[in-house]
A and B are shown apart, each in its own frame.
Chain A
Amino acid sequence: MTESHQGWPLYEVFIRARAGLDHKHVGSIHAADPAMAVEHARDVYTRRGEGVSIWVVPAAAITASDPDEAGALFEPARDKVYRHPTFYDIPDQIETL
C-alpha cells in the first residue's frame, strides 16, 4: 500500500507557507529517496507558490496512535474543562489574545 508500482516508498510532505509559520502536513508523494522526494514535493505541492520550505518524512518512520485506543487516549481529557485557560478575566485593553 505504501509503495508505488515502481517500488518507490511513500513520503509525507510538510510545507511552510511563509517564514515564521510552522510546517503543515499537505499530503504525500512517492520517491526513490529523500532528495527525489523533495523535488517531487516541490513539483506537486508548491506549483502555485504555496511554500518557502519543504520537509519530507518517510511514511514508514511515522508512528501513529491506534484508532482503537482513541477512547483510552483521548476520552479522559474531555471532562477536564479546567485545563482550558478560560477561567481568567481578560482586561478590556487586551485586544489580540
Chain B
Amino acid sequence: MANDPRFDYALHLADNALVLAQRLGAWVGHAPELEEDLGLANLALDLLGQARLCYAYAAEIEGRGRTEDDFAYFRDEDEFRNCLLCEQPNGDFGHTIARHFYFSAYQQALYTALAAGPDARFAEIAAQGLRETRYHVRYSANWLVRLGDGTAESHARAQAAVDTLWPYVHELFESAAVDRAASAFAPAPESLRSAFERTLEATLAEATLRMPSDDWQPRGGKDGRHSEHLSYLLAEMQSLARAHPGARW
C-alpha cells in the first residue's frame, strides 16, 4: 500500500539519514585529522544504518518487492523527502559541524518522541537510533564549543556557519504533507522545537556564539522541492548503480 502514511514517513526519515550520510562520507580522506576522519565516517555509518532500517520498513509496507537499493539509487530528486538542511554542502569543517549539530539535536527530539510512539517499528528504529544520535549531539556540540570558544578565526567561522545554516532549521519544525499524514503515529514537528531550542541555547552560550537572527525560511524539501545541491549529490551517489543496475560487490 503505497498511500499508507507510514510509507512516506519511513522514506522521509530514511532520506534525511541517507543524504546526510552521503555528505559526511565526502569527508573521508579529507578531514583535518585522521581521528576526525574516522569520527565523521562513524557518524555517516550510523546514519546509513538508520536509513537502511527505514527503507526496509518502507519496502515492507509497500509490499511490491522494492529493496533499500531501489529507494536509494533509483528514485529521482523530486521523490526524495529529506529536509533541505541535510543536503546543504559540507563547506568548511565548521559548517559540517553546525549542520550536524542542528540536525542531530532535532533528530534527538524526534527519536525521543517516536520511541514512545504507537507504531512498534518506528519506536524500535527510533530507540536504536537514539543511542547513536545522543553521541552525535555530544560530538557536534563539543566541536561547536571548541570552535566558537577557540581562536578569533575559529569563532568567526563557527558564527558564519551557524548563521548560514540557520534558515534551513525552520523547515525541520514545520508540518508538511508527510507530517500531517503521519499525525496518528509521529509527533507534530512543531512540538519538537522547545526541546531543540534548549539544547541549542545551552550549546551556543557555552560556545560564545550568538543566536542567529530569523530571516528567510526556505522550505519544500519534505515535499520533494530541493535546492540545486541535492541533484549533484544524487548524481554522484546514484551514477554507479544506474550505470550497472543489479551490480553486486
Contact = CB atoms under 8 A, between A and B. Distances in A.
Nearest to B43: A43
Given A32-B146, A35-B142, A40 B42 contact: no
B240 interface: no
A54 interface: no
A36 B34 CA distance: 13
B42 A6 contact: no
**Interface SS of chain A:** mixed
Nearest to B135: A42
Interface in A24-54: 29-32, 35-36, 39-40, 43-44, 47
Interface string B126-150: 0000000000000100100010000
B32 A6 contact: yes
**Interface SS of chain B:** helix
A30 B42 contact: no
Which of the four size classes fits the interface of chain B?
Answer: 10 to 19
B39 A4 contact: no
Contacts of A6: 32-33
A30 B35 contact: yes
Nearest to A4: B33
Interface string B53-67: 000000000000000
Question: 4 tightest CB-CB pairs across the interface, nearest first?
Answer: A40-B35, A43-B39, A43-B38, A29-B35
Interface of B: 32-36, 38-39, 42, 139, 142, 146
